[in-house]
Structure 1
């Protein structure tokens, strides 16, 4: 058989590889891009069960229209990652790709790398090249959420910014330049400035992003978030719910681990399931306190702080 007819030598382009690798993910979401703020707000609430401030959504859309990446910065559990991924998905009309950062991340982990055995056999070309999420998102015109950007190094941050500025990715080994072909390719970064063992964001990075701060919501909004995301057919009385929000606000003042709305939502869901398993029609203080031991006990040595908050609000502790 001639070498040119050998299927092993068929050259699959990088673009074809991206489509083949990510087709299953992309096929799970079929909707046209949504650029209207009010429509986006409606879908975030009804389909994603996310209560998002209209000003925040408007600022993100404005930044995308101006061709700027966005930085969501604030404490954990406030919805940065979930909200960012949802907005990117709605904006592009395709599922957003998520890149969780760590200190050893480099271009090979997010752009692409060469399979060692394939490169040995066929050389450093498109046949042995494996595209990674950032390059895939650019080719597919999809959004990218870069999670916990502060955990990466400055070199990695600057590499990303060059790509965002030019809306292109250069792969020297392939002698190819890949360009974004539409407005769907947008980036949202998330960051928790209070996290330990992380690097500072460079001035070059901060100059190029639009920063949107996140914080814990006021009690009435947190209660609305819990009600929106509560998914158990067991009644959760307003008084119980208000008490749970009081507890987490006490912990945010005193504990090293500060529970976010995501923790409060999980707490309510587990309490509801405990009540259901016990044959009850509504959540009682007993379920709330029992659920707290697996949701709010996060750091060794802080159990007493949680117990004190539970006793202060509910008059009962584990």
Structure 2
């Protein structure tokens, strides 16, 4: 198939391109950078339509974010991605229609189920509401953007839409470039989990799932893409430290993170997702049952390369 991909130059995007090309598909990246085959700003509708004029594609993929280099401490760190999820999605749908694409696959994330305490039961795609209205203005902006992205895709007449709701990313290109340097600088305090847990997914596994969705995701369906075993944020960070021999993070009271409101919200959220649907319909399974095993494997691979 011919695939037009927004976000092809990002970390997840590069891995997805690798997976799709290995499967024999032709991928054209859409973006402003030199490496993009289709050059346009995703937020400039007319520029996007000019750039795709004369092209034909079978599938459009929206995995563009503005998170690269962000530490996810402030709500403003999500602002650019919120806009890409709304205006960018609308522009990509227009590009899909212009180029005759029959399918659109969009990236989303677990927090679209809402921040806060969801209890110990893993949430599923068909039983639990996605995009509940949030009481906080900033949180509603984030969740509302994820809600709108899916609504735009699923409501696009003539397009088969598929959405992937990813857990928190870790793995090659994420852990050793973001979390690990902060740990080594003693710049990543954590809050005691106190029974809270989040769902995680290795970014390479996420890329395999997205490629599978391009080929065989069921039209009109969303899929949770997470590993089997949720782990608290503090537990995950401590697993990074243990795997790489870095200093263990300091544990601080939750109120101390109020100057970093997005981090404060993430660390105080209890949200677990089930992955049964992705296993059954995409034929996807996580490489590691939990992020602690995945981190140990990543650290061992880094050590082998350094030896």
Bigger share in helix: 1
* TM norm. shorter chain > 0.5: no
TM, length-normalised to structure 1: 0.30
